């Protein structure tokens, strides 16, 4: 009945900065942009794709109150976006060259390596390199 995750929504106050990060730093491709009217006012949407993964970048350009920065504390609900990388060391070196350091890691285990970075709004992005996937 269910096939896959279609997309993940990411609300930001600075969509151009967010799109530049996910596109220029992480390699997502912009699929489309649109503005829709909602009861809360206009909503700008940008769809970004990486393989068959999509992120819907959302911004209410006329919002009166600023969006609170993301807390780094654990909470109920979604915790992070996780991206698979081919080579952890190469990915981290590339990110460092672009000005993005690890929040933690890399942690290397026999089956995988993990690390975490943060997007410009502070949202966590886990990086994972699989050496051997669990059965």
C-alpha 92, offset from chain centre: 15
Number of domains into which the chain is organized: 2
Confidence of residue 132 (pLDDT cuts 50, 70, 90): confident
- Please report where in the chains the tokens 């009861």 appear, as a residue: 39
Residue 68 belongs to a domain: no
**What is the per-residue pLDDT for 46?**
96
Instruction: Choose among 56, 51, 115, 39: nearest CA to 82.
Output: 115
Residue 1 belongs to a domain: yes
Q: What is the pLDDT of residues 57-111, one digit of tens each?
A: 999 998 876 556 555 565 656 778 999 999 999 999 999 999 999 999 999 999 9
Q: 94 and 125: one domain?
A: yes
- Among 35, 62, 89, the domain boundary falls at 62
Q: 85 and 114: one domain?
A: yes
Whether pTM exceeds 0.75: yes
Instruction: Choose among 52, 87, 51, 63: nearest CA to 11.
Output: 63
CATH number at residue 36: 3.10.180.10
Note down the domain range covering 19. 1-62
Q: What is the pLDDT of residues 17-58, one digit of tens each?
A: 999 999 999 999 999 999 999 888 899 999 999 999 999 999
Residue 70 belongs to a domain: no
Tokens describing residue 122: 């502070």
Instruction: Choose among 103, 93, 105, 107: nearest CA to 124.
Output: 103
Q: 39 and 8: one domain?
A: yes
Q: 27 and 83: one domain?
A: no
Q: 52 and 99: one domain?
A: no
């Amino acid at each position: 009945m269910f096939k896959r995750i279609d997309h993940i929504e990411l609300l930001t106050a600075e969509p151009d900065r967010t799109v530049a990060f996910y596109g220029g730093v992480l390699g997502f491709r912009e699929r489309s942009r649109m503005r829709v009217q909602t009861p809360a006012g206009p909503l700008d949407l940008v769809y970004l794709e990486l393989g068959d993964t999509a992120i819907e970048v959302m911004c209410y350009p006329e919002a009166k109150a600023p969006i609170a920065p993301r807390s780094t504390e654990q909470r109920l609900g979604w915790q992070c976006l996780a991206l698979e990388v081919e080579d952890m060391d190469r990915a981290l070196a590339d990110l460092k060259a672009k000005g993005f350091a690890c929040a933690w890691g890399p942690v290397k285990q026999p089956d995988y390596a993990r690390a975490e970075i943060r997007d410009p709004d502070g949202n966590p992005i886990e990086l994972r390199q699989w050496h051997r996937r669990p059965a």
